[in-house]
Each structure stands twice: as C-alpha cells, then as structure tokens.
Chains A and B, each alone.
Chain A
C-alpha cells in the first residue's frame, strides 16, 4: 500500500526550513528518501532503518517513528538547489526487498 506524503507541495524562500512527512499503514523495516529534479532520475538522500540506524546525506536530517510508521525529512536553511520533488520509499517488513513510493512532495525554493 502506497505511503502518504504531506504536504503535496511547498514553496520556500532561500534560507527557510521545511518538513516533509511520510506515513504508512504497514509495519516498516526501512524508509528511503529521494529527490528528483525535473527530467532527471531520483537521487538517493537517506535510509532510515528500524532500530534507529541512518545512512545518507550529511546536510539533510530525518527521523523514523517505528511505533507510528512515520518518517519526516527535515530541510534546514534551504538552498536553491533543494528544489525538486521528494519521494519516500517504504520497505515493509513482509514485502521483501522492494520499495513502495509515495506520490511525492514538490518543493520550490525561491531567491
């Protein structure tokens, strides 16, 4: 089942902060975050694992609430290069090595 992302879109001025949320109704083993710029492939940002381990981008932080099956991506002091569509991909405990992606959050950072 597809995870739900919120908000669907957000517009920031450079230097502002944003939080993107991802929520699943399934028990999750890991959450993967990607950013995609128009016309390009999604680029990996971060993995959050059940048990608290994180791997990924040094300048982006995220959290994973295992009890609520929710993850949040924190973008602080946004830069113009942060613009793009952010996707969360969830790995369910029973699904094996496949990800189910949310619909995406479109982030626009203006000067």
Chain B
C-alpha cells in the first residue's frame, strides 16, 4: 500500500513564526503536491513538484514556499505565518501519469496560527 506521512497532525504557531510542514512518501512517486483545505472551498493546490529540486506554483502559492531535496520528501514552508493561513494542509503523491494510478493523500496537518 502507498503510504504518505506528514510530520504533524496538529500544530499551533504564532503570527510571524516560520513554519515547516514535512511530507514523506514511500512509493517512489515522481509527483508530490501540497493542498490546503478550507470549509466550502474544497482542496486548493499550493505547490507541486515533478522531480527533485523542481517546483511549480499551484493556484494559491502566495505566502508559501516549498523544498524538494530528495524524491521521497516534500516540504511546505510558511515564511512568516499569518492567521489567514490557519487551515488543514494535505500532502499527496502520484506517479508521473495520473491516468495510471491516482494520487494518494497523507493524513493532513491541522495548523492553527494565533
């Protein structure tokens, strides 16, 4: 079974702090994704990566950055956390071709910024 793990299930941070969210997948997937999920808005793509050291902006990249130094690990960074970044953050991974197999999600990190 595909396994996508995220470093924390719950995080509480203060405004202005630098926040790191980490995601690890064990299926040698090329693609990795970061989403945020808010009530009534569904899943919105923040950043994604097709390969090591490669990144692409998603639909809502402002206020975020990412890092992919190893194939299995994809980190989301909030350079200076703000209260409007309070949300559920979901990581996902997939093969290079989504038609072969869908993407798989991690359990999520619920972030509260005070």
Binding site for B on A (CB under 8 A): 2, 29-30, 32, 34, 40-44, 47, 49, 87, 89, 91, 96-104
Pick 23 A–B contacts, CB within 8 A, sort by A: A30-B98, A34-B105, A40-B107, A41-B107, A42-B43, A42-B90, A42-B105, A44-B104, A47-B98, A47-B99, A87-B42, A87-B43, A97-B31, A97-B94, A97-B95, A97-B97, A98-B31, A98-B48, A98-B98, A99-B98, A100-B45, A101-B43, A101-B44
In the complex, how many residues of chain B place their beta carbon closer than 8 angstroms to a beta carbon of chain A? 28
B50 at interface, CB cutoff 8 A: yes
Q: Cα distance A2–B41 when bound, in Å?
A: 10
Which A residues are CB-close (under 8 A) to B90?
A: 41-42
Contact A29:B99 (CB < 8 A) given known A41-B105, A41-B108, A42-B90: yes
